[in-house]
Chain A
Amino acid sequence: MTASEVQAWFVREVLPLEAALMQFLRRSRRNTSDADDLRHDVYVRVCEAALKEIPAATKPFVFSIARNLVIDRARHDQVVPIEAVADLEDLSVAADVPGPDRSVAAREELRTLQSALDRLPPRCREAVVMRKIDGLSRKEIAARMGIAEITVRRHISDGMAIIADAVYGETPNTGKTP
């Protein structure tokens, strides 16, 4: 598989599983702060395998890699008993939440993005709005906000990371508006 084929597959089928994956990882580890590290390791292993051959069934594949990694870490730490590593039944429930094939209605997608936007710190949000919604250049944003272009860049790249966590990593609220 070429890198771009793997990329397309990864974006289409693996990223939509992230919310369920994070839920699983957080639940399985006592130290929830390393859920991000685990997510990263899961993605790297998944893509390593996909570069050889795209797995036929994405969800079970991703979760079996996640489970193995969690078990490895637990063994390594010798802290968490292996039984605590989330049983499979638990996992299949978690894994069923979003599913890669859910078709997100445009409106729902917009709501997800909007709530991602709302999560940004005020200045960062301002820069992202000017960039994405008003289509302004770095220079224009810098002028309007009265800050250096380099700062605009930082705001925007910070914004990207937060948006990625929000749109992929967070469990979508089930229809209920807060």
Chain B
Amino acid sequence: MSKNTSKGFFESLADGPSTDEFIKGLWKDNPVFVQVLGMCPVLAVSNTAENALAMGLATTFVLLMSNILVSLLRNFIPKQVRIASYILIIATFVTITDYAIQAISVELHKSLGAFISLIVVNCLILSRAEAFASKNTIGKSILDALGMGIGFVFALFCLGAVREILGSGSLFNFALFPAGFQNWVVMILPAGGFFTLALWLLLFNVLKEKKAS
């Protein structure tokens, strides 16, 4: 079995259109800005750039691992119970990630809080499993997961950076402005998350419209 899969793996890597699977997640089908998926962690932990980056990387890891497993098992999982199986697979990897982050940095684990566990219910991961990994070879699924994951990290970072710069006057805890700078406290508060995301989406919509006309 493992021999077969490894063969399929390399064959699929040699497939022509694979780079498309990677690129599309970065810009054209960006999970946050274009598909508007996985909003809860996007808004909740993007109050600083560091949190946003950590959350993005954790999500990418879970996305990658679950895409690999779902793609490997796609011919064995009965259609009726597929969603339940996908969620179980995702929950397993999230548990692993949760414990790993706790081992690496207790401080980070505290500031992300329950939102690491909530990666389980990130619609992005389930939608990739259902819409892509369950129908495609493992190589393509890996590229898809990496593309989407990096797109997700990029989007989270965009939000986190804006909110941290305006809300705390710093980026990655380095102060950017002279001492007289008045922090925009609203940016760290929940309302700031909604506003920042709305403005980023607006920017993307305007760009799309310009391109179309």
**Do chains A and B stick together as partners?**
no
